[in-house]
Amino acid sequence: MTQTQDTLSIRQMCDAFDVTPRSLRFYESKELLFPIREGTRRHFTKQDRARLALILRGKRFGFSLEEIRQLLNMYNRDGSNAAQLMRTLDIARARLCAMQAQQDELGLAIADLHLEMAEGQRMLTRMQQASPKTSAPTHHAAE
Amino acid sequence: MTQTQDTLSIRQMCDAFDVTPRSLRFYESKELLFPIREGTRRHFTKQDRARLALILRGKRFGFSLEEIRQLLNMYNRDGSNAAQLMRTLDIARARLCAMQAQQDELGLAIADLHLEMAEGQRMLTRMQQASPKTSAPTHHAAE
DNA sequence: CGTTACGTTTACGTTAACGTAAAGCGCTGT
DNA sequence: ACAGCGCTTTACGTTAACGTAAACGTAACG
């Protein structure tokens, strides 16, 4: 229960999260992570691990590191005062809006692409029927 | 019906599509557009306009210019042979898959962000009730 | 004939998110 | 004492999609 030394080296972090040392140092330089500095060495705490998990998720969602930094502040309740919290919420609202717009556009694009692909598929089928390279057994889009 | 001269200057294109000359020249250098070259001047045909429209749509959807170039070939049926068409369809399938994955992840992210924002909102409300700066009339999250 | 307006080419600058190389410190094993 | 490992800092390199500046052509306007 009293685990006093719950900290990872940079290499252990890399292995645990499948990132490069460069990235971790970069994130620290951008103030996304704050490992304990024992002299020159870094020690990543449980907090850092949690933050890194959120960073990686954010990246998958297409956020920039700067945006992620903003959101981390919200997740962490660093800004313990109302004004700061309100600004953070504003940022979140804006991001949310953008994300929803993007999701909608993505939906449209997906539908369009489906249509174009169907058209291409039809053309391909016609072409293959026109010039059968092999004697062509019933080759129905073999997956 | 016999509109022999249906071509736009670079400036007209820029105005029509709200892009910079630099972008158009860049797209040409990347073989996304093929304006007629009368000496040194460019003349953008109806084809170019159609392609540009697709380019801009593709960009909004998050495609890279190289990906867009591939897709333009599909839209245009340039690759009139089956092999080429199949490769193009493969690219499209991959993109489609990625797009759907991204859309799903975006959905998750949106839900998460909603939760976090709700939490932040509750905190804010508590803080405002705890320290009423003004004599505070019934100020219910005035939108 | 000079100057705007519009067009061109060439080429270096910019941002994001690292990659990669160089050079050095501190500890361990032999 | 020295090699090697793991970590460090410093700093230049990379990719995409243009921006921006320089330096020039040419056609019309006054």
Strand D neighbours with CB under 7 A? A 9-12, 21, 25, 40-42; B 20, 22-23, 26, 59, 64-66
Per-residue pLDDT, averaged over B68-83, amounts to: 73
Per-residue pLDDT, averaged over B99-120, amounts to: 84
Which positions in strand D are less than 7 Å from the protein's CB atoms? 6-10, 16-20
User: How far from the centroid of its chain's Cα atoms is residue A49's Cα?
Assistant: 16
Per-residue pLDDT, averaged over A10-38, amounts to: 95
Q: What is the pLDDT of residue A70?
A: 84
Do residues A44 and A10 touch, judged by C-beta distance below 8 A? Answer: yes
CA angle B5, B8, B10 (to 5 degrees): 150
DSSP-derived pairing of the beta strands B36-38 and A41-43 = unpaired
Q: Is any atom of strand C within 7 angstroms of residue B36's beta carbon?
A: no
- In angstroms, the CA A57 to CA A63 distance is 9
User: Binning pLDDT at 50, 70 and 90, where does residue A132 land?
Assistant: low
- In angstroms, the CA B96 to CA A111 distance is 9
User: How far from the centroid of its chain's Cα atoms is residue A87's Cα?
Assistant: 23
Specify which residues B37 forms β-bridges with. B42
Interface of A with B (CB under 8 A): 57, 60-62, 71, 74-75, 77, 81-82, 85-86, 88-89, 92-93, 95-96, 99-100, 102-103, 105-107, 109-110, 113-114, 116-117, 120-121, 123-124, 127-128, 131
3-state secondary structure (DSSP) of residue B36? strand
Q: What is the pLDDT of residue B91?
A: 74
Per-residue pLDDT, averaged over A101-113, amounts to: 83
Q: What is the pLDDT of residue A143?
A: 34
Q: What is the mean pLDDT of chain B?
A: 82
pLDDT tens digits for range A66-89 = 989 988 877 765 556 777 778 778
Describe the crossing of helices B65-76 and B82-130 by its angle, rounded to 10 degrees.
Answer: 130
- In angstroms, the CA B91 to CA B114 distance is 34
